[in-house]
Amino acid sequence: MSKSALDAIRTQVMWNRLIAVVEEQAQSLLRTAFGTITREAGDLSAGVYDTSGNMIAQAMTGTPGHVNTMATAVAHFFKHFPQSTMKPGDVYVTNDPWLGTGHLFDYVVMTPVFLKKKLVAFFASTCHVIDVGGVGMSAKANSSFEEGTLIPHMKMRKEGVLNEELIGIILANSRNPVEVRGDLLSLISANDTGARRLLSMMEEFNLASIEPLARHILTQSERGAREAIKALPDGEWTYDMPLDGYERPILIKSKLTIRRGRITIDFSGSSPASIHGINSPRTYTHAYSVFGLKAVIAPHVPNNIGSLSCFDLVTESGTCVDPTRPSPVTARHVIGQMLADCTFGCLAQALPGKVQAESAGSIWILGLNSAHGRVPAEETAKAKYFGVINIGLGGIGGRPGKDGLSTMAFPSGVGTIPVEITETQCPLYFKRKEYLPDSGGAGEFRGGLSQTIEIANREAAPFTISAATFDRIHNPAQGRDGGSPGRKGLARYGSGKPIPDKGIHVIPTGDSLVVELPGGGGFGDPLKRDREAVAQDLKAGLVTAAGVRRDYGHEPA
């Protein structure tokens, strides 16, 4: 075998090893985090960067909203802390929404790595903490100043010594200081794990620097993405997506342009920023729109700054997809996690028959709290104080040749939080959590089903749903190529009265919270669906007999 062939094999082995390093970094965070949304749902990201701050590898564990925002977040630290001032044992932190992951609840932690006092790389990680003060995990605020405590780019550890003064400020402004401290230390520990494994790898391969490997990774990744784009037809396509909004409906306008091997997604003309916290900062908008493009165009190409650089984003400052400070942004997922489907709407015109139908989109975060401070004191006098998070997941759109996946988070990819975990943290209990029949849009390939979740209090006391940022209650996920829309979402009291889709709501003593998540849209003409597939769905309880007659035009088998 030639030397060039051996060198190529060695380089590929090192690339694979680097991915294993960042995956171990992510697993370290996953297994030591205190917050359930991190350790149970995997709402995190981890990555390694070259000395210029370019993300060269990411962990498989994580969400696009964290990974793709963090791809550019590291470079912002250099404006405050030049590399020449960094020393072994230093750790840096921020939760600035516009320079991090889009809202205050995510701390980005960056750690420089030194080999014999020489800076050779950076590791960064992020996760969602349960509370940062302010109005809490709610879109109720009218300003980012009301949403919690912003930590600018600061040093959290100096040459191995924790900055307890900074940590003290963070904890003093959190309702859950023990969990938040645990998550911050877990982020530091995860980066340290990555650094140790990288140095071990460099020693094993006798590397004094990873810069040549980084250049290879970024060059090959960009080349792969560019080649995938060149295979697409040139043209321009537009797609509009109406969303429920908060104080008024939202319209996302998207335009996709493919020309001479370049691709641009343009959200100009989208609705102005909301006065409530559903706005998606540009960094988060970029994360999910580019993810949508890459998922269809170049899913086989590794995700790093090289492949991400092939997609250009255009936004208008002051809109809901590019809000300016101090616009509220806590629930930025409400708009941001719909943007992948916007790009799909454009791509479906460029690639007929090859793009899945719309999905439920943004997850329904169930911020569940005791009602202290929301009702007269005597109603909570004997009640336990608590604040927990759970997640409701809808259906994914039907796909070319396959049904949509049920109760799965697309595009975020987060998992759910087991009911047993939530029930051990607070006096609430889940009365039911089950598939919602007929919720997936009809089609030759059915949309994924959503679920019904009902939650009640074991104590004789009210509780609140404080992160009610539900969407697709008025605008369902659309079908594709003749498929039907998925079922709309619904929130209500167990006693029957509807609950508004946004805001903070008190569930009275003896009542319950019921949410019915939106389903995914169907793909293709429902009349072409295989009758045996319909019969199997009916047998499994995924559709009803009435639904079969209505949606598929024949009597149940």
Split into its structural domains, the chain has a count of: 3
- Residues 347 and 366 both lie in one domain: no
Half-sphere exposure of 369 (CA within 13 A, CB side): 24
Residue-wise pLDDT tens digits, 466-492:
866 899 999 999 999 999 999 999 999
Write down the pLDDT at residue 468. Answer: 66
- Residues 246 and 382 both lie in one domain: no
- Residues 492 and 345 both lie in one domain: no
pLDDT of residue 76 exceeding 90: yes
* Residue after which a domain boundary falls, among 352, 369, 395: 352
Write down the pLDDT at residue 487. Answer: 98
- Residues 344 and 377 both lie in one domain: no
Look at residue 100 and tell me if it is in a domain. yes
The span from the first CA to the last CA of the chain, in angstroms, equals 62
pLDDT of residue 247 exceeding 70: yes
- Residues 401 and 254 both lie in one domain: no
pLDDT of residue 501 exceeding 80: yes
User: 536 lies in which domain range?
Assistant: 356-557
Look at residue 214 and tell me if it is in a domain. no
CA distance 111 to 378: 49
Look at residue 545 and tell me if it is in a domain. yes
pLDDT of residue 557 exceeding 80: no
Residue-wise pLDDT tens digits, 19-56:
999 999 999 999 999 999 999 999 999 999 999 999 99
Residue-wise pLDDT tens digits, 424-452:
999 999 999 999 999 999 999 999 999 99
pLDDT of residue 316 exceeding 90: yes
- Residues 254 and 390 both lie in one domain: no
- Within 8 A by CB and 6+ apart from 58, the residues are 22, 45, 46, 47, 67, 71, 303, 304
Look at residue 216 and tell me if it is in a domain. no
- Residues 187 and 80 both lie in one domain: yes
- Residues 188 and 283 both lie in one domain: no
> Are 464 and 499 in contact, with CB atoms under 8 Å apart?
no
- Residues 269 and 408 both lie in one domain: no
Choice between 217 and 6, residue whose per-residue pLDDT is larger:
217
Question: Region 256-274: what's the mean pLDDT?
Answer: 95
* Residue after which a domain boundary falls, among 183, 209, 235: 209
Q: Kindly report the average pLDDT of the chain as a whole number.
A: 95
- Residues 173 and 259 both lie in one domain: no
C-alpha distances (whole Å) from 182 to each of 38, 106, 162, 385 are 11, 14, 13, 20
Write down the pLDDT at residue 500. Answer: 87
Residue-wise pLDDT tens digits, 344-397:
999 999 999 999 999 999 999 999 999 999 999 999 999 999 999 999 999 999
445: β partners = 523
pLDDT of residue 1 exceeding 80: no
Write down the pLDDT at residue 62. Answer: 85
* Residue after which a domain boundary falls, among 296, 321, 352: 352
Question: Region 400-413: what's the mean pLDDT?
Answer: 96
Share of the chain above pLDDT 90, in %: 93
Write down the pLDDT at residue 5. Answer: 82
pLDDT of residue 398 exceeding 90: yes
Choice between 352 and 502, residue whose per-residue pLDDT is larger:
352
- Residues 40 and 54 both lie in one domain: yes
Query: C-alpha angle 525/530/536, rounded to 5°?
Result: 120
Question: pLDDT category, 463, cuts 50, 70, 90?
Answer: very high
Look at residue 455 and tell me if it is in a domain. yes
Look at residue 479 and tell me if it is in a domain. yes
- Residues 343 and 360 both lie in one domain: no
Residue-wise pLDDT tens digits, 176-204:
999 999 999 999 999 999 999 999 999 99
